[in-house]
Structure formats: structure tokens, C-alpha cells
Amino acid sequence: MCNKHKQGNVFHNAKALFMKVKDIYEFETNRNNELDKYKIRFFREGTWWRAYEWSAYLSHNFPNGLDENKKLLVTKKHYKELNADLVVVGLQLKSFEKYFPNIKIDDNSLYYRLFI
């Protein structure tokens, strides 16, 4: 974790329209500045929250004190509309406390960013 970019482990609420996986992929791969490199972006999909590509990597490696075998499971999923495989992690709202201690979020948004 980079202390230079840590901003209090707070999820910031952003109103977002439903994003297609193509848009999420572009969003994740176009991290243009230094601050963007330390943001974990979760996207709501039904009752699940998912992070893709770099956000998936950051969320798997979040310093939460869990053993390696108990961290978020990173999976590779093929998306036809991209004709590509993406790295994804997913969790339900009730699991956030386990993986991201002391971070409170609500279930009323479609998108959250975590600054680390």
C-alpha cells in the first residue's frame, strides 16, 4: 500500500449508470495518472460487487491480515463482447467487512471506489 495515496480507507459513492463490460474494461485499462493506480473500483451486478483487472489485483492484495488462501479469489472470465478474458473478483455486500475491515458501505449504489 502506498501511504502517499491513502485517503482514509473510505468508499466513495458515485452515481453511475449500468456499465457494460466493454465500458468497465476501458475504464480499468485507462488509468492515466498516479492516483488512479491506487483505486479499487467495484461495480454492482445484482447482489454481487465485482472488481475487474487492476482493481481485482488490488482487492486481492489488500492488506487485510488474511492468509493468502483466505483472500478474495481471483478468477479469469471470458467475455464474448470483448473476445477477451478478464480477471475478476466478486463478493457480496455482507462480505465486505471480512475483506475490507472498518469500511462501511451501503447497498444503494451501483459503483464504489476504494482509495488505498
The ranges assigned to domains in the chain are 11-115
Q: 86-109, pLDDT tens digit by residue? A: 999 998 888 888 888 877 666 655
In this predicted structure, what is the pLDDT of residue 17? 41
Q: 3-56, pLDDT tens digit by residue? A: 333 333 334 333 344 578 888 888 888 877 777 777 888 888 878 889 999 999
State pTM to two decimals.
Answer: 0.73
Q: Which residues pair with 11 in a beta bridge?
A: 114
Closest CA to 25 of 69, 85, 67, 71: 85
Closest CA to 50 of 70, 30, 25: 25
pLDDT over threshold 80, residue 60: yes
Cell matching residue 51: 472488481
26-35, 42-51, 58-67, 72-81: which is most confident: 72-81
In this predicted structure, what is the pLDDT of residue 99? 87
CATH fold group of domain 11-115:
MutS, DNA mismatch repair protein, domain I (3.40.1170)
